[in-house]
Amino acid sequence: MKTEALKKLLESMTLAEKIGQLVQWNYAALAMTDAEVTGPETLQLSADAMKYFGSVLNFSSADEMIRLQKQYLAGQEHPVPLLFMMDVIHGYRTAFPIPLAQAGSFDPDLVKECARAASAEAAAGGVHLTFTPMVDHVRDPRWGRVMESCGEDPYLSGIMGAAQVEGFRGKDLTDKGTLAVCVKHYAGYGAPEGGRDYNQAELSEHVLREWYLPAYKACLDAGADMIMPSFNSLNGLPSVANPWLMNQVLRDEWRFEGAVISDYNALDELITQGVAENRQHAAVQAMNCGCDIDMVSGCYASDLEKAVREGLISEDQINTAAMRVLKVKNDLGLFEDPFRGASADPETVNRLAREHRPLAEKAAIASAVLLKNTGVLPFDKAAKRIAVIGPFADSREIVGAWCCNCDTRETVTVAEGIRTLLPDAEVTVVTGCSARIGDTDGSMIGEAAHAAENADCVILCVGEEMECSGEGRSRASISLPGMQAELVRRVAGANPNTAVVLFGGRPLDLTPVEKIAPAMLEMWMPGTEGGTAAAKLLFGDAEPCGKLAMSFPKSAGQLPLFYARSNTGRPKQAPEDEYQPYCSNYMDCGNLPLYSFGHGLTYTEFRYDELRSEKTELRAGEDLNVTVRLTNTGKRTGTETVQLYINDKFSSVVTPVQKLAAFGRITLAPGESSEISLTVSHERMKLWNFAGQSVIEPGAFEISAGYADHLLLTQTFTVS
Ligand code: NOJ
């Protein structure tokens, strides 16, 4: 529909119809089904108040969508199609690795491909818009939602978030296999105090501008259609009622013209948070902060019309908001085709899911991170007796906490992956103890150790259950739950040819495991083909190449912990494991993480030979071209993610000691040397100064290759 026609449609609508566009209901509330509900159940309004609405979330099939769409359109005087939304976070039917894992591939093209595949499946399943990407900046793995994020570096998050936006949206939203996207959770949701979900975040403007806001902006620049303010209060105000965030930054500075949707029931929660006296007050505040859609609280449905009549909200505000919603519908081509490629035949999604399995395997391989290897990996494929031990040895519950319509029965387990890869080997599976928090039953450990003793190699699959990460899943301790640490101790003690394979949605405290495990492979929640990927990696049919998008602490007491820290006036000079009085360090723990952001081994070795920058003197605003020469000094072909870090030597504000500036991947055969060229954008040289500007300050900078806290080659350049 042309914009003029859209305007005419809006003009023809009554106030109640326009407000209806701003109301979103849960499918379950409308259809009285048991479809997934991702928040507290909200009040049921009268049939009158429920008459008009504009969008729906949490339905489970194309069939449901088609039925409701038909029913709704048939009952309306101005039939405006409903917009169907869902959390397609890391897959729809096919589960790809969780976003935190995918970010560690450092491969935006792959991330885009996974999003593309997920959108094709979801669109066939009747979804129009996904609540993705989630690019909350995260520094504390006690917060269970780190699994949905792209990790602790805003530059990487921005790139991965933008790749998701491009993957989901495709070239043109009128293409039926695409989805519109909603970036979330704006802003600071990743910094809840104590890592406890929904908790307040207190962040200075400086920290917000440098670390927390850029990734959302990158996703909006990539074309995101919608943005979701976060649940948490930020510096004293919940985001949906925070005029600085919503009006000043989002609308005035960033000029975002797309739609804003509240998070689940967030308007009503303004009352619980103590900043709204009642539902009308909540609705008025959110409307005044440019929140276009009220997700399920019903505050707009029950109170907005009255607020207009009382002059608290103008009809112009309603028009602007309704128009934004209509625009998303129009961009999706819903006026021409309200069913938009939804296929009531489940075979369509099944067929797509079958086609996407190789991609799921590729992504799981690329996202896995080899944390440690004393040389036991890769295992010899001639192994005759293989013990696969632990709660995740034969588990299908490795797809990840937020893969909406995937069928875990289709997941390949680690034991299955190994049996397929090595059909002649004798594979013994001992599921060992459970991964449940608080479980004290270690009765299977003896059997597990016995199986390990009698095996040529042992694959010990431990970690966290899927339900341990995701929304509302904060932990105070991030060590291996239950008796698993003891399981590792006994099994690794029984057979030194043991690799620990880790599953879960967050960086864990692996200090006790690292001391005894000869090798550790982090698979995260790898998705549908996780077992195939693990088997291939463990037996050398695939090369590990993933890097950490989030640091693993030595202890939860170090949290929040991140690589891009600022220097103190009293930095620690002593070795990591020594305490230095009157310096910034702990008496009982080192400062550094166990594994830093950017860490990840391969089955070969890379020597960094040379780092050359094209220029040593730049004018502010110029980019810097850098070349890094590497040699594969090992015996296998491998892929290295070359990372460049920047440090501003002297500036008007304290800057981080290292900040990711560019990255790229290079594959080299044994003995091969080659160069990779990377561009450090001038944007990476900027800082947020105390006058509230983003500027490049003249002076010396360092550029280094390596990874966080392990910088190998450094060069200096100056900016005038
Ligand atoms: C609440 C979550 O915070 C958000 O990420 C999600 O998109 C909505 N629920 C809808 O499920």
Give residue 39 CA to ligand 1 midpoint distance, Å: 8
- pLDDT of 38 > 70? The answer is no
Residue with CA closest to ligand 1 atom 4? 263
- pLDDT of 39 > 60? The answer is no
Average pLDDT of span 409-432:
96
Residue with CA closest to ligand 1 atom 3? 263
Q: Could you tell me the pLDDT band of residue 448, with boundaries at 50, 70 and 90?
A: very high
Nearest Cα to 630, choosing from 600, 595, 680, 664?
A: 664
Catalytic residue among 87, 136, 140, 263: 263
- Pick the atom of ligand 1 nearest to 189's CA: 3
Residue 246 per-residue DSSP state: I
Instruction: Count other Cβ atoms within 10 Å, centred on residue 397.
Output: 17
**Helix intervals (H) in 335-440:** 346-367, 414-421
- Pick the atom of ligand 1 nearest to 231's CA: 3
Q: Could you tell me the pLDDT band of residue 223, with boundaries at 50, 70 and 90?
A: very high
Nearest Cα to 524, choosing from 185, 192, 146?
A: 146
- pLDDT of 28 > 90? The answer is no
Ranges 33-47, 73-87, 143-157, 206-220: which has the least confidence: 33-47
Residue 582 per-residue DSSP state: T
Which two structure tokens, joined as six digits, stand for 112? 């885009």
Q: Where are the beta strands (DSSP E) in 213-278?
A: 226-229, 233-234, 237-238, 259-260
Instruction: Count other Cβ atoms within 10 Å, centred on residue 238.
Output: 29
Nearest Cα to 659, choosing from 672, 674, 648?
A: 648
Instruction: List, for residues 544-591, the tens digit of each pLDDT value.
Output: 999 999 999 999 999 999 999 999 999 999 999 999 999 999 999 999
Q: To test the ligand 1 pocket, which listed residue (184, 239, 293, 474) has its Cβ within 8 A of the most ligand atoms?
A: 184
Distance, in Å, from the CA atom of 68 to the CA atom of 55, rounded to the nearest integer, reads 11
Looking at this protein, which amino acid is placed at residue 175? D
- Output the average pLDDT for the chain: 96
Is 268 one of the annotated active-site residues of the chain? no
Q: What is the pTM of this model?
A: 0.97
Average pLDDT of span 642-667:
97
- Pick the atom of ligand 1 nearest to 185's CA: 5
Give residue 264 CA to ligand 1 midpoint distance, Å: 6
Average pLDDT of span 366-376:
98
Q: Which residue matches tokens 């326009």? A: 18
Residue with CA closest to ligand 1 atom 1? 264
- pLDDT of 41 > 60? The answer is no
Instruction: List, for residues 460-502, the tens digit of each pLDDT value.
Output: 999 999 999 999 999 999 999 999 999 999 999 999 999 999 9
- Ligand 1: list residues with CB < 6 Å: 38-39, 57, 87, 131, 184, 263-264, 471
- pLDDT of 35 > 80? The answer is no
Give residue 263 CA to ligand 1 midpoint distance, Å: 6
Q: Percent of the chain beyond pLDDT 70?
A: 98
Q: Could you tell me the pLDDT band of residue 44, with boundaries at 50, 70 and 90?
A: low
Helices 414-421/530-538 angle, 10° precision: 50
Which two structure tokens, joined as six digits, stand for 669? 């055969």
Query: CA dihedral in degrees (110, 116, 122, 124; nearest 10)?
Result: -140
